Amino acid sequence: MKKQLMISAFLATTLASGTTLAMDDKKAGVWGDDQSVADGTVTAKKVVAESNGWLVVHRTDEGGKPGPVVAHAPLREGENTDVAAILTEDVESGDMLMLMLHSEEGGMKTGIFEYTLGAKEDGPIKKDGKLVMQTITAE
């Protein structure tokens, strides 16, 4: 009987920790790598969004401050993979880009990207006071 209780406790602990790990994978985030932009797009390998929103590509530099938007793509709630955003201006090899998660809130029209630098419409999402983003370098 003791052996069965120990095995049950072990399985319960293992399953509970596995569930926790699975839930951690569902937290909002952006994942991307340095990449060529020769085809006129920037791609995030994975974006997890807690609600519908946008992958927004900002210019940035070593200072890490988001600059002008150079591309954006819609996101659905949950996990999005291989999200490609079409560049709206030239990006050169060596340029630093910030792939950032933005919301679909505060704008006048659903499904239309309305953000301009510093605006609240379709603005950046922050978790624990930090932007949800990944910085990459164009190749």
- Is position 120 within any domain? yes
- Is position 105 within any domain? yes
- Is position 9 within any domain? no
For residue range 77-91, list pLDDT tens digits in order: 999 999 999 999 999
Q: Which domain holds residue 89?
A: 28-137
- Is position 23 within any domain? no
- Is position 8 within any domain? no
SS3 content of the chain, % helix, strand, coil (to 5): 15, 40, 45
3-state secondary structure of 13: helix
Q: Output the domain CATH number for residue 107.
A: 2.60.40
Q: How many domains are there within the chain?
A: 1
- Is position 2 within any domain? no
Identify the DSSP state of 36.
-
Which contiguous run of DSSP H or E holds residue 9? helix 2-24
- Is position 66 within any domain? yes
For residue range 5-47, list pLDDT tens digits in order: 333 444 344 334 343 333 345 699 999 999 999 999 999 999 9
Gyration radius of the chain's alpha carbons: 19
Return the higher-pLDDT residue of 57 and 119: 57
- Is position 43 within any domain? yes
Between the alpha carbon of residue 9 and those of residues 13, 15, 30, 99, 139, the distances in Å are 6, 10, 36, 43, 51
